[in-house]
Chain A
Amino acid sequence: MLWYHWLATLSAVICLSSCIIHTFKVIRAGKPKDYAKPSGDVSASVRYSFTGAMHPAKKESAYMHLPTYIGGLLYHMGTFLSLFLLILLSLGLYPSGILTYILVAVFSVTAVSGLAILLKRISSSQLRALSNPDDYLSNILVSLFQLATVALLLSQDFVAVYYVSASLLLLYIPLGKLKHLVYFFAARYHLGIFFGSRNVWPSKQS
C-alpha cells in the first residue's frame, strides 16, 4: 500500500467511526415518550415517510423546483455510487472496457449537477444569506471527489489526487452538514412517528 492508500484507509476509519457514533447517539437517545393516545398507524406512517411522502408530486420542494430537484437527485446518486466505487477500487476491483466509459459519463453528469447546485448557491443572494462556509465546502469536496473519480477512470496518473480527495471528503463528512447522511434517515423516522400517531400519514387524501 502506498501513502495515499493509508491516508484514505485512515480517513475511512475515522469517517465510519464518527458516523457510527452519530447513529448510535441518536438511536440511544431514542424518541421522546408520547403520552397521547395515537389515532393512526405509526409503523405505516414511518414506511410512508420514506416512500410515498418522498414522492416528488407530494413535495413543493421537488415539483416547484424540478431542475434543482433532478440535479440534487443525480448529485446524491453520484455521491453514493462514487463512494461504492471507492470501496471496489480499494479492493483492487477496477472497472474495464465499456463500463469505464459509462462510469465516466455518469460521474461527469453527477459532478456537473453538484457544481450547478453550487453555482445556484453562489448566484442567489437569498441562498447566500442562508449559507455558511460549510455549505460551500461540503459541495466542493463532494463534487471534487466525483471529478477525481472521472479523472482516475480516464488515467491512473490521477490515483494520488483521487485518494487525497476521497480522504478529504471522508474526514469532513462527520464535521459539517454532510452528516445529514445519518440525520436524514432519523428525520424521516421522527416525522413518520409524529404524523402517524395523529393519523395524518399515510396520506389518504385524494
Chain B
Amino acid sequence: MEIITIEKKKKGLEVLSNKEDGKLQTHMNACVHCGLCANSCVYYNAMPEARFIPATKVELVSSIYRRYQTFSGKFFPSLVGARSLDDEAANEMVDLLFGACTLCGRCVTHCSIGVDISYVVKKGREMLSAMDMIPETLQSTIDAALESGNNMSIPKEEFVETLEWLEEDLQFEVNDDEAKIHLDEEGKDILYTLNPREPKFFPLSISAMAKVFHAAKESWTLSTKMYDITNYAYYSGNYKEAAVITQRLYDEVERLGAKSCVLAECGHGSRAFRWEGPNYLKKTYPFDVFTSVELLASYIREGRLKVDPAKITQKVSLHDPCNLARSGGIWKEQRYILNACVSDFVEMTPHGNDNICCGGGGGQLAMSEYNDRRMAIGKIKADQIKASGAEIIATPCHNCVDQLTQLNVTYKLGIKIMTLGEIVADAIVLENEESN
C-alpha cells in the first residue's frame, strides 16, 4: 500500500477546495446512494460487487469532500459518512477510479438524480494526479507523448518512411501517380491528425483516409512534427500535462496555417482536443475543429465522394465510442455513412448515446494491471456483437478497435473490425472506375 505524505494529501485536497466551482459543489452533494446506477455500469454488470457500483466510486470522492468542505462533515463525520483522506482511501481510489471505470458516462444519463458520475471520477483522478498516484503504466504513455511528441515514441524518420510507402501504395491503388500524402504543407484547408497506433500497427487506416481525401479532392496535410490526436493526460487527471499536449497540436495548426483541424477516429482524443482542450488552454480555438466522422458524412452528403454499398455485402454493425456519441453528440453521422456504404447495416441493442462501452476507454488499454477486469467487462460487448450477427464491426475509435480486436480473440467472435475511414475507402467509386 502506498503511503501518502502530508504534502501529497494537501495537494490532493486542494482539488476539492474550489469554492468558485458550482459544478463541483453540486455533484459532490447530489448523490443519494440509491444504488440504481449499478445496472448501467459494465463493471457492476460483469462483476456484481458493491465496490463496482458507480455510486460507490462517487462516494469515495464525495465522502472526502464532505469531511473537509462541509459543516456536517467537519463536525459529525460518522453521521454523514465523511471520510478522511488517508492511505487506505487513496489506494482504494486508485483501484476503483483508475481500475474500475472507463469514464463511459452511461451511468450519468441513467442516474436518478443527474449526478455527473464521470465528472466526479475525473475529480478523483485529478486528486490522485496531484498526489502523484497515477498508475505508472498510464503515466508512461503520457511521458512518451511528452518526450517524443507521440504516445508510441515513433521516431520522425520511421513515421515519414511509413508514409512514403503508403503513398506509393495509394498511387497504385487509385492508379494515379499524382496521388499524394501531403506532409507539412502550409495553407491547406485541413490538418489531419492520427492516432499513433495507425502508423505503428494499422497503417491501412491512414491509406484509407488518404484515398478518401484523394477522391474528394481535398486540400489537406499531415504534420510530421505533431500528428498525435491522443491525450492520455485527459485520463490521468493531470491537466497541466494535458494542456502541454493540446498546445502542441494547437501550435501546429497555427504554424501550418490550416483552416481546420480534423480529428482522426479516436474517441478520447477527439473529446480531449475538441471539448476539453480549449479549457486546458483557457482559450477558444480560432480555427474549426471537427471529427473525421463528420467530414466523411459531409463528403458523401455533398456528393464529393461516390460510394457503392454493393461493394460491402457482409452484415455490418456499429460500435459507438462513448466519447464520440454519448459525450460528443456524434451518432447520426456514422449511421449516415454506413447506410450509404454497406448493403446490410444492423444496429446493436442498445446503441447510439445509450451504447454499452467496449471496455477500452478510461485509459484501461494503457493500464495492463487491470487487463483481467477489462476483458471481463468486455464480455458484455462481445455478447452484444454476437447477438447482432454482424460479420464486420465498424467503429470510429482506435482504442475501441484495439479492445474489440482483443475481444474478438478472447471470445472467438470471428468478426472483422474496421474504422469508418476503411469502410468508406472500400466503398468508394473512383472517377477512373466510373469511366471504365
Specify whether A and B are partners: yes
Within 8 A of A (CB), among B12-70: 19-27, 29-40, 48-51, 53, 55-56, 59, 63
Which of B1-9, B75-83, B213-221 binds A?
B75-83
The residues of B with any CB-CB pair to A shorter than 8 Å are 19-27, 29-40, 48-51, 53, 55-56, 59, 63, 71-72, 76, 78-81, 108-116, 119, 274-279, 281-285, 325-329, 331-332, 352-354
A199 within 8 A of B: yes
- Chain B residues near A180 (CB, 8 Å)? 29-32, 113
- Chain B residues near A126 (CB, 8 Å)? 35, 38, 48-50, 53
If A36-B279, A68-B36 touch, whether A31 touches B79 (CB-CB below 8 Å) is no
Instruction: Write the chain B residue with the least CB distance to A129.
Output: B50
In the docked arrangement, what's the CA distance between A190 and B115, Å?
9
Is the beta-carbon distance between A64 and B39 smaller than 8 angstroms?
Answer: yes
Is the beta-carbon distance between A61 and B284 smaller than 8 angstroms?
Answer: no
Is the beta-carbon distance between A130 and B23 smaller than 8 angstroms?
Answer: no
If A126-B50, A183-B29 touch, whether A61 touches B40 (CB-CB below 8 Å) is yes
If A61-B111, A200-B328 touch, whether A190 touches B78 (CB-CB below 8 Å) is no
Instruction: Write the chain A residue with the least CB distance to B294.
Output: A39
Q: What is the distance, in angstroms, from B54's C-beta to the closest C-beta of chain A?
A: 10
Q: Which of the four size classes fits the interface of chain A? A: 35 or more
Q: What is the distance, in angstroms, from B68's C-beta to the closest C-beta of chain A?
A: 16
A62 within 8 A of B: yes
- Chain B residues near A53 (CB, 8 Å)? 109, 114
If A126-B50, A133-B78 touch, whether A186 touches B26 (CB-CB below 8 Å) is yes
In the docked arrangement, what's the CA distance between A166 and B24, Å?
31
In the docked arrangement, what's the CA distance between A62 and B110, Å?
8
Interface code A170-186, partner B: CB below 8 Å = 1, 0 otherwise?
00000111011011101
Is the beta-carbon distance between A198 and B38 smaller than 8 angstroms?
Answer: no
Interface code A21-37, partner B: CB below 8 Å = 1, 0 otherwise?
01001111111111111
In the docked arrangement, what's the CA distance between A191 and B107, Å?
13
Is the beta-carbon distance between B79 and A134 smaller than 8 angstroms?
Answer: yes
Pick from B50, B79, B275, B326: contact of A130, CB below 8 A.
Answer: B50
In the docked arrangement, what's the CA distance between A55 and B158, Å?
54
Is the beta-carbon distance between A61 and B116 smaller than 8 angstroms?
Answer: no
Is the beta-carbon distance between B33 and A135 smaller than 8 angstroms?
Answer: yes
Question: Can you name 17 extra interface pairs (CB under 8 A) apart from A35-B283, A135-B81, A187-B26?
Answer: A27-B22, A31-B23, A34-B278, A61-B34, A62-B36, A127-B35, A130-B33, A131-B81, A132-B63, A133-B80, A137-B79, A176-B72, A179-B29, A186-B26, A198-B328, A200-B329, A203-B353
In the docked arrangement, what's the CA distance between A62 and B30, Å?
18
- Chain B residues near A131 (CB, 8 Å)? 33, 81
- Chain A residues near B353 (CB, 8 Å)? 200, 203, 205
